[in-house]
Structure 1
Amino acid sequence: MIAALLVLGALWFARDLVAPLALALVLVVIVHPIRHPLERRGWPPWAATTVVISVAYLILAVLAALLVFAGAEFADLVVDVVDELQAAVASVGAWLVRIGLGDQVAEATQRALDPSVLLGAAQGLGGWLLAFLTAAFFVLAYVIFMAADAARYRRAERVFGPAVRPRLDRIRALNSGIRRYYVVNATFGAIVAVIDGLALWALGIPIPAVWAILAFVTNFIPNIGFVLGLVPPAVLAFVIGGLPLLLVVIAVYSVVNVVLQVLVQPKFVSDAVDLSLTLSFVSVVFWTFVIGPLGAILSIPLTLAAREALLGGDPWLRWLSGNAAAGSSPDDPAAPADADTTDGTEPPAEPLDREGAAG
């Protein structure tokens, strides 16, 4: 426990370095399979590595362009609607007083919706962009080194012998789960973003493209991403259209996101990562606290890696990994046999198979 606390404290202290490192690692895991068909076609390793790095940079460039566009549009919008927002906040405070909630509740609500907070965020866009560029520099450097190192692991079995194969299988299963998770989330996030953006455009909500980008990004945050993506356009709808438009926006988001993100998407995510809903939610809170906001988006891959590192190599701990899974049961073939032995001998220390390692 002391060692675990020291490690977490070190991660928290070095979060400005650890968060870009984790992002770069996930990017390399996602794009690494591009290497294999190129090498089968006779490409030299350095050329395949260059393609992997280029694709990772392209993903980063697209994300950066989307975020910069959204930030600039948001800053302009806040300046344009600050007067309307102040009037809306004052009306909410007066309404709370009329229904008998008291001046203190009204003042607390007004402070929570204070337009100066949004103005400060908009005016601080330059500092945010500088921090983003600083983190991007580390990510770009990490991607180069990791992509080059990843090319060497295909020789691991030849160098270390067949005994290393179970560990490589577990690593491949972990990487495959991370890739499936992000492919599923990116697919559903794009669908949700398009539907939400078109709905907001039809309702006359300003800068619907920004809220569509927000819906896409927050789709990568398990459980609470839907709420985070809903709040800004809902507040804006209340400012420009009052309570009726607010309710319409909430209804549209609820229908779209409940159908896709609650009823359909979890089935595909569960097949990809096999984590319980409770553990998924706790992982968001935990990793956000440890490495900052980026931890919310990387929470599932980080949890999968921690589960594999702590539980994947010991057959006696497989029951913990199974209990952390979304669909485990006493009849699950991945569950271990009874730990008690009648003859007092230790069970053979056989490596986990690929299915067991995947949870």
Structure 2
Amino acid sequence: MSDHSSPRALIVLLTTASAVVALFGLREVASIAGPVLLALVLVIAVSPVRGWLAGRGSPTWVQVAVPFLVVVLVLLGMVAVLTVSVIQLASILPTYATQFQDLLAEAQLFAVSHGISNEQLNKAVQSYDPGRVLGIVQTLLTSLLGVLSSLFLMVVLLLAMSLDAPVTAKLLAAGRDHKPALVTALTTFAGRTRRYLVVSTVFGLICSALDVCVLALLGVPLPLLWGVLALITTYIPNIGFVLGLLPPALLALLDGGSRQMILVIVAYSVINVVFQSFILPKYLGDAVGLSTTMTLLSLIVWTFVLGPLGALLAIPLSLLTRALLIDSDPSARWAAALISGGSTSPPPPDPSGTASTR
């Protein structure tokens, strides 16, 4: 009998092409897809609250309203802090124009003393305009307005998804007998996502509080803003710590010189190493289920597709992709071992106790 199966190379090429088309298509509608996916992740994050209320016989409207209000209040609080802080940043940045120009001159002298000065460096220093700092501030404010407009769309989506959450849970429970692999994969995705968000948030809050205390003791301006930034960058794998460190370190350099900048870098590094390298992995365990290489690739791909929001959602979106394409297909176990670094053990139990619904 002749073998009519498609060549493996053709299957790989078609799969790759389909993935590229899907990602570029998603990138074209990133302004819509981003808030939708963020709303989905947030609804999953607060689903244990709904499960707790349902277990105590609360009315359906209470099961919908309470988780929704929890998310909205957290988002509004964070946006309020960022708005006030960015306005304060806009008012103090122009006052550092002279210090910044002095730093450029020192850097030029350093380059000249080491024989690496060139004509382009001289032109760059001479053409520096302190007024450009105001342009950076205006860009920050414009970006903030864009976030606020997206926030309205996300709140509407959150409300819609919160209303559908009880029905979705019942549908998943009813479909377990018909599509057990798919339902199990989605349940595992929800449990892993919740554990990742809860653990990351708890340790992110601790690290952020310590960062704020350190910055306040060192006299770095706007410590609360940099603390919120450190919390947000907690959800960005691999490079989040660096992104959260750079702005306060640069501001410390302008405000107090190189000594203050070094102290900020050392303090941030100590806090990050202790929590991110020693404590966090112990509590997070295998909840993520992605190897270090896959985590970095996820960050690159989702940032390319969805922009900064993709960097924040890189882990949850990769877990969702794994659930839909790999975990739901028993024949794809080899791929699960590949992307998880060889570990295919089940995720740790969901602390909410609602990871599975039957």
TM-score bucket (shorter structure) = 0.7 to 0.9
CA distance in 2, matches of 1:266, 1:243: 33
Alignment partner, residue 187 of structure 1: 202
Confirm or deny: 8 A CA contact 1:287 1:296 kept in the other structure.
yes
Q: 2:331 aligns with which of 283, 306, 316?
A: 316
**Pairwise mapping of residues 1-359 of structure 1 onto structure 2 (< 5 A)?**
1-103=16-118, 106=121, 118-156=133-171, 160=175, 162-326=177-341, 328=342
| CA displacement 1:79-110 (0-9 Å, x = unmatched) | 22222222222222222222222226746986
Deviation per CA, 1:201-246, whole angstroms, max 9, x where unpaired? Answer: 1112112222111111111111101111111121122223322222
How far residue 282 of structure 1 moved from its aligned partner, in angstroms, is 1.6
1:321–1:4: structure 2 CA closer, same or farther, 3 Å change rule?
Answer: same
Q: Secondary structure at the match of 1:272?
A: coil
Could you tell me whether the CA contact under 8 Å between 1:157 and 1:165 is conserved in 2? no
Residues in 2 aligned to 1:256 and 1:131: alpha-carbon distance in whole angstroms: 32
Percent of residue pairs bearing the same amino acid type? 35
Structure 1 position 166, deviation (Å): 3.8
**TM-score, normalisation: structure 1:** 0.85
5+ residue gaps, structure 2, are 1-15, 347-355
CA distance in 2, matches of 1:283, 1:260: 22
Size of the aligned set, in residue pairs, is 331
Instruction: Kindly indicate whether the alpha-carbon contact (under 8 Å) linking 2:86 and 2:141 is maintained by their aligned counterparts in 1.
Output: no
| Root mean square deviation of aligned Cα | 2.4
Distance 2:115 2:37 in 1: 49
Call closer, same or farther: CA 1:108–1:292 in 2, change over 3 Å.
farther
1:342 equivalent in structure 2:
none
Deviation string for 1:29-71 (max 9, x for gaps)?
0112211222222222122112222122112112212221232
Give the match for residue 7 of structure 2: none
TM-score by length of 2: 0.85
The 2-side partners of 1:104 and 1:307 are apart by 52
Aligned to 1:275, what secondary structure does the other structure show? coil
Report the Cα offset of residue 257 of structure 1.
0.9
Deviates more, 1:226-235 or 1:161-170: 161-170
Q: Is the 8 A contact 1:24 1:143 kept in 2?
A: yes
Inter-partner Cα distance in structure 2 for 1:34 and 1:220: 22
CA positional deviation for 1:175:
0.6
Closer/same/farther in 2, CA of residues 115 and 232 from structure 1, 3 Å limit: farther
Which position in structure 2 is the counterpart of 1:347?
none
CA deviation after TM superposition for structure 1 residue 18, in Å = 0.8
Spell out, residue by residue over 1:150-176, the C-alpha distance to the aligned partner (whole angstroms, 9 max, x if none).
Answer: 211232267557223443222121111
Between the two structures, name the one with larger relative contact order (CA 8 Å, sep ≥ 6). Answer: 2
